[in-house]
Structure 1
Amino acid sequence: MHPSPSAEAELAGELDGARPDLSASYAAALPGARAAVLSRLWRALAHEPLPWIARREPTADGLALHLTDGRRLHGPPADPYATAAYVAEVRLDGRAYDRAAELLRALGVPHGDAFAAELDHSTASLALSRAGQPRDATEPATSWEWEQRVVDGHPYHPNCRSRPGFSVVEQLAYGPEHRPLVRLGLVAVDDCLVRGEWPVWLRDGKRALIPVHPWQSAHVLGVPAQDGPAAHPLMALRTLALPDGGPHVKTAVSARLTSSVRDISVYSVDTSATVSDFVESIAARTDGLLRVTRTLGAISAHSPDLAAVVRESPETYADPAQGERVVPVAALPVTGLPASPAWLAEFTRLALTVGLRLLDLGVALEAHGQNLLVVLSSTGAPLRLVYRDLADIRVSPARLARHGIKAPELAGRIVTDEETTLRRKLFGSLVAGALASTAGSAPVLRAALETAVRDLPNTPDLTPLREEPLPAKALTLMRLSPGLSGDRWALLPNPLSETCS
């Protein structure tokens, strides 16, 4: 039996009232959205270290998962790097399920009901995101326009479009894939923490003005806000690009989007200027292959719910006179790239050269497809990378010291010398994330990696990249472990390993 009422039905009802012109296209998009979310969930069931799965074994027509309670789950072969929606149904003891939420409820695992509700919402929101997408006649001219073409959200997370707490009207008004203009609010504060240079346009006399997202203003803050500028929402939803090549503004949205609550910690504001200056200096050691969007200013009213970060636009690092353009890596498939195996190998070589160079120096980037952008030439060749959002990198004082580099004056979670943590940060985001989702399958990823690694410098991190299982965040396990903090990890088959089929 379907849950009653489901998020699909609730959203359909809201849509009938708010945008009846989209109701038919929403209904038509639901089967595809169900398959997309179910495919992501099946990937997690097939590869994450879930404690209630006793063993996994291939079958003649797919994969069987044997549960600790004796039940059996059967589905198609599970490519951990596939991005296509290839799972139409999964069978639990012979009964077919075509909805991820219903399957999870049937499994009856701890904390499953709460996660099932998120999956239900993710499916409905994904169908809404796909409904009524305009036919694009012109090619985007800016990076923010390219990232607004990313309709399906996270390529591997079953919560790829989960937006609990957002009504239909709010999703249409704030979701980047719907291409709205969002008017920021401005909240004046007297007592605040400021790092960097807070812009003049965000001051009212001696008082600082904190840009706030309208959803945050309506649902969390409960304080009046004056009208601020209109801006274009990016993939992160709470980060927006000001018009005419202006800076990007990262706002606090205290809602659980995908997995995380998107507020801004006081710690990240406090360390923002130091981290920005430091990573910019490290990026200068890549011979121009990496640029970092500098943090111009960060502010917090001593609360994660009322804070903001202003940073450079990635457009700063492309030369339009030379026909260059900047594209977020997550949007590369939307551009028609990779155009060939040779292009993908060239891009993979560029990304690994930069990532491994910084890792060897002592900086592990969280270089997933949202944080990492590529500057393309007029012919589409990858020239250099741009990295944004420095809040979740890791810095190793020991590695820095080996290269005679003074460590920045930082403490807290960003600082670690633990080798596994450093490699997981980079390999999990870049290889199992950005590169894998650009390739779209294990065979294509393998071919790109095999070509790219031939020319890479032989740093101590290259052997683990070649030979050890690839780490990836165990996103479903993390959602099913609400009492545990920090990341949990899955170890995926390494496409470079001879034992990886």
Structure 2
Amino acid sequence: MHRLPSAAAEVAAELADVRPGLASRYRAELPGARAAVLTRLWRALAYEPLPWVEGRERGREGLTLRLADGRRLHGPHADPYATAAYVTAVRLDRTSYDDPARLLTGLAVPHGTSFAVELGHSVASLALSRAGQEGRSEEWPGHDWEWEQRVVDGHPYHPNCRSRPGFSVAEQLAYGPEHRPVVTLGLVPTRADECLVTGEWPESMRDGERLLLPVHPWQAEHVLKRPYDPHGEGLAAHPLMSLRTLALPAGPHVKTALSARLTSSVRDISVYSIGLSATLSDFAETLAARTDGLLHMTRTLGAATADSPDLAAVVRESPQEYAGPGERVVPVAALATTELPRSPEWLAEFTRLALTVGLRLLELGVALEAHGQNLLVVLSADGSPVRLVYRDLADIRVSPARLTRHGIPVPELTGRIVTDDVPTLRRKLFGSLVAGALAGTAGSGAALRGALEAAVRELPGAGDPAALCREPLPTKALSLMRLSPGTPGDQWAELPNPLVTEVF
């Protein structure tokens, strides 16, 4: 069998040079990291519409996939909503695989080689992330970035949950939020009349007639090819879970361009999104006013680009602006690091709040990309979920027809954001909120079913809520997308709706 260069071995060799004290913990974390990524990959193999999977047979002893070339792939029953690693090995005919990269190589499917390399990086980086957690406080954080840095394992369902190709070990330790660094953003002076600027660019990021555009040090070195002095003049900031967005101490959040592939996408900032940012920010305030105080939208303070997705930045207010006395604002992705979701009553209450807000906005004409990174919850002093905060409007979908029907002025928007297509609107919300944020918080199909059953009793019984209760749940086919480099845009899978059928 063809053997790929081992990303795990490469990371171990680099680690011995830059942080030898982590080496033994890194090696100890590798088996768990392989199982975590293999579990995510098995979910994709079990549910995504992969063209080389001809059939799926669910039996008492697990799940068997019939492949187009006649081979059979066997593994455990697949819970599409599970977040804990439960797949330690699968069997392709008579060969057992415990490593996701080697499994994909053994499958020998189109475009599988490059995806296998990414899976190897994901395993190695995940083990590195877990290795760096010794000494982390178990106390609830006092700063917003500390909540973000508790999300060690990355995306709960993407096999590329920690893939960071192009990042050395030293760069992962220096920039990865789970390693809790302080990152100095460079400031690139650019003539204001040569930039597209929307909103009010902060005075603290101006120098006369020039804008000082914050630049991530990785971007400065690898893309812009600018000399970078980490001890020079710049902005000290704390990386958030997206890695390219950072929190300034006692100040706003800065979203930087980062032209690297993380999970699925190259993280630059398009000129298109800069142009729409102020319009969307104003529109968000109109939307929030329709939710009876249950939702806040973070405002974009300013956005600028030097006419390039590689040199751009967005400055927006911190979600902490919406915390009252004694309250905490927590990214939904970080809820799983607390004991809160273990209570069925708490999980049902949070699910009811999230569905009430999400479905209300969908009815009005806006589908949020409400995954665990964009959606935050305001917790009262006793931990009860009381309100939501949403950030990053770049990937919402807006229906002019629905807005008009509800008497809401249609903003001047163009491009991919605008659609009246009902399946597209439902996919955007249900895929991110239900199959993403709520499922990831629940951690299993059984827990998600219980939370949904309790929550939907108090939701309206017609329209989109009815679709939520009857139809399969959409989710992005994340692995299929990595295996289909020539197909633009999102591709989708359908997951069993726990309100309709048993997950298995």
The normalised TM-score by structure 1 is 0.98
Aligned to 2:235: 229
Aligned to 2:5: 5
After superposition, the Cα gap between the structure-2 partners of 1:282 and 1:409, relative to the gap in structure 1 and judged at 3 Å, is: same
Whether contact under 8 Å (1:142, 1:326) holds in the other structure is no
Q: Does residue 312 of the first structure (1) align with residue 329 of the second (2)? A: no
CA distance in structure 1 between the partners assigned to 2:132 and 2:454 by the alignment: 40
Q: Does residue 168 of the first structure (1) align with residue 169 of the second (2)? A: yes
CA distance in structure 2 between the partners assigned to 1:499 and 1:340 by the alignment: 21
The 5 Å alignment of 1:11-50 reads 11-50=11-50
130-139 vs 323-332, which moves further: 130-139
Whether contact under 8 Å (1:53, 1:65) holds in the other structure is yes
Q: Which amino acid in structure 2 is aligned with residue 64 of structure 1?
A: T
219-228 vs 163-172, which moves further: 219-228
The normalised TM-score by structure 2 is 0.97
SS in 2 for 1:86: coil
CA drift of 1:95 comes to 0.7
Q: Which amino acid in structure 2 is aligned with residue 83 of structure 1?
A: T
CA distance in structure 2 between the partners assigned to 1:157 and 1:80 by the alignment: 11
CA drift of 1:442 comes to 0.5
CA drift of 1:460 comes to 1.2
The percentage of counterpart residues that share the same residue type is 73
Deviations 1:191-215 (A, max 9, x none): 1100000000110111111100000
Query: Which of 345, 352, 361 does residue 349 from structure 1 map onto?
Result: 352
Q: Does residue 270 of the first structure (1) align with residue 275 of the second (2)? A: yes
The 5 Å alignment of 1:294-443 reads 294-319=299-324, 321=325, 323-443=326-446
Deviations 1:310-330 (A, max 9, x none): 0010100001x3x10011000
Whether contact under 8 Å (2:245, 2:256) holds in the other structure is yes
CA distance in structure 2 between the partners assigned to 1:328 and 1:420 by the alignment: 27
Unpaired runs of 5+ residues, structure 1, are none
Q: Which amino acid in structure 2 is aligned with residue 230 of structure 1?
A: A
Aligned to 1:132: 132
CA distance in structure 2 between the partners assigned to 1:280 and 1:132 by the alignment: 40
CA drift of 1:94 comes to 1.7
Aligned to 2:85: 85
Aligned to 2:286: 281
CA distance in structure 1 between the partners assigned to 2:50 and 2:5 by the alignment: 29
SS in 1 for 2:197: strand
Q: Which amino acid in structure 1 is aligned with residue 287 of structure 2?
A: I
Whether contact under 8 Å (2:80, 2:503) holds in the other structure is no
CA drift of 1:457 comes to 2.6
CA distance in structure 2 between the partners assigned to 1:116 and 1:422 by the alignment: 32
Runs of 4+ that moved beyond 2 A: 1-5, 134-139, 223-227, 498-501
Aligned to 2:488: 485
Whether contact under 8 Å (2:378, 2:386) holds in the other structure is yes
CA drift of 1:147 comes to 1.3
CA drift of 1:224 comes to 5.0
61-70 vs 141-150, which moves further: 141-150
Aligned to 1:154: 155
Aligned to 2:219: 216
CA drift of 1:144 comes to 1.6
Aligned to 2:61: 61
215-224 vs 26-35, which moves further: 215-224
Aligned to 2:205: 202
Q: Which amino acid in structure 2 is aligned with residue 92 of structure 1?
A: L
SS in 2 for 1:278: helix
Q: Does residue 248 of the first structure (1) align with residue 246 of the second (2)? A: no
SS in 1 for 2:204: helix
CA drift of 1:97 comes to 0.3
Whether contact under 8 Å (2:257, 2:312) holds in the other structure is yes
CA distance in structure 1 between the partners assigned to 2:327 and 2:460 by the alignment: 28
Aligned to 1:456: 459
Q: Which amino acid in structure 1 is aligned with residue 265 of structure 2?
A: S
